[in-house]
Amino acid sequence: MSTQAAAISVRPLLITADSNLLDDVLRLAAAADVELEVAHAVAVARPSWPAAPLVIVGADLAEDLVRRGPPRRAGVVVVGTEHDEPDIWPLAVALSAEQVVLLPDSETWLVDRLADALEGDAPRAVTMCVLGGRGGAGATVLAASLAVCATRSGRRTLLVDGDPLGGGIDLVLGGEHTAGARWSDFAGTRGRLSCSTLSDALPRVDELTVLSLDRGDTRAIPAEAMRAVLAAAERGTDLVVVDLPRSLDEAAEEALSRATVVLLVVPAEVRATVAASRVVGAVRRCAADVRVVVRGPAPTGLEGQTIAESLGLPLAGRMCAEPDLGAALDRGEPPAVRGKGPLAEFCAWFLAGLWGERERVR
């Protein structure tokens, strides 16, 4: 823990000469696994003021700071206790602070904000939505396979279950008994959620983080909860895969509107293609980049390109039927986990292309 103001700080900056406040905030920073730059006087805070990802101003030095008129910046919070009220409020306004944090009541908020400060605000992840052109098209299996495959190649990945009638995507991974939070724990979430809070709460199945619906709970996911979860995940992971139902609810529309790419899985059959055409319009109203994945077998030899053209969408790719998939799923073996077979090969190929596209636009 440095007590000197470095020339350029990448750590959150705490400005206080109050030893009790210092102890409290250091304890909360430790809980967030964040190291702080500490300035015991306003004068020594100056070099770090512009670049620190977050500035926490103790109520004891807030007036002194206001008097010196530092340049305006985002990411300032003023911290005190109830004894600092009401004087703390006009000082916070003068500093354009985003929040007044009164301890101990707002400890959790400050821990989350500290963790967030290091995560940064820029969304980094690719968000991918997967849905089926007809019931049983293989959307959930493909969503799980993509997430498994990305995790195997070292990408931090979150698989999000967005289908209230799907029976819980943890079951597809054999992770239904894995302890950790499910959607019901996040259904009331509004506003900003820290990525570390999300990631710490969720179960992992072989390193893949999963947010599954609870078995038996068929309630819709609130759109605001979906927004908060995806925003947090996009800041702290490489890939977010969302498994969606064909009948779009508000949460599905929220996910689609954030998606980098949407995959529509269509079995290589005429009836499936016709059914898929009914889904396309609604999906395209929410998402710009929608591509078709054609799944074999093709009983009459229907070509992937023909299906994609009749839907007016680009073809992302085509894959053969996965042998012994039903038995593997019943054994609790996640799809594509062995890295072999049509699903694993399609996912590895598609993801490699996607990371390549991503690099080119950067």
Ligand X SMILES: Nc1ncnc2c1ncn2[C@@H]1O[C@H](COP(=O)(O)OP(=O)(O)O)[C@@H](O)[C@H]1O
**Which residues sit at the interface with ligand X, rule CB under 6 A?**
132, 135-141, 265, 295, 321-322, 325-326, 343
Minimum separation from the CB atom of position 349 to Mg ion (A)? 22
Minimum distance from residue 5 beta carbon to ligand X (Å): 55
Q: What one-letter code names the amino acid at 2?
A: S
Element at 205 (helix H, strand E): strand 204-205
Q: 50: number of CA atoms within 13 Å, CB side?
A: 4
* Closest to ligand X by CB, 234 or 322: 322
* Residue 325 binds: one of Mg ion, ligand X, none (C-beta under 5 to 8 A by kind): ligand X
Instruction: Report the distance separating Cα 282 and Cα 128, nearest Å.
Output: 17
Nearer to ligand X by Cβ, of 113 and 295: the residue is 295
Sequence-distant (6+) residues with CB within 8 A of 286 are 248, 253, 256, 257
Q: How far is the CB of 294 from ligand X (least distance, A)?
A: 11
Contacted entry of Mg ion, ligand X, none for residue 127, CB cut-off 5 to 8 Å set by kind: none
Residue 221: Cβ-neighbour burial (10 angstroms; 0-12, 13-18, 19+): buried
Q: Which of positions 82-141 make contact with Mg ion (CB under 5 A)?
A: 139-140
Query: Based on CB atoms, which residue is closest to ligand X, 88 or 275?
Result: 275
Residues 6+ apart with CB under 8 A from 43: none
Residue type, 349: W
Nearest to 59 by CA among 3, 13, 101, 104: 101
- Residue 150 CB, shortest distance to ligand X, in Å, is 17
Of 15, 23, 6, whose CA–CA distance to 41 is shortest? 15
The residue to which tokens 């730059």 are assigned? 37
| Residue of the chain from 166, 175, 335, 342 that contacts Mg ion (CB under 5 A) | 166
Contacted by 141, from Mg ion, ligand X, none: CB < 5 to 8 Å by type: ligand X
Rounded to a whole number of angstroms, the minimum distance from the CB of residue 201 to Mg ion is: 24
Q: Which is nearer to Mg ion, 140 or 237 (CB)?
A: 140
Residues near Mg ion (CB under 5 A) = 139-140, 166
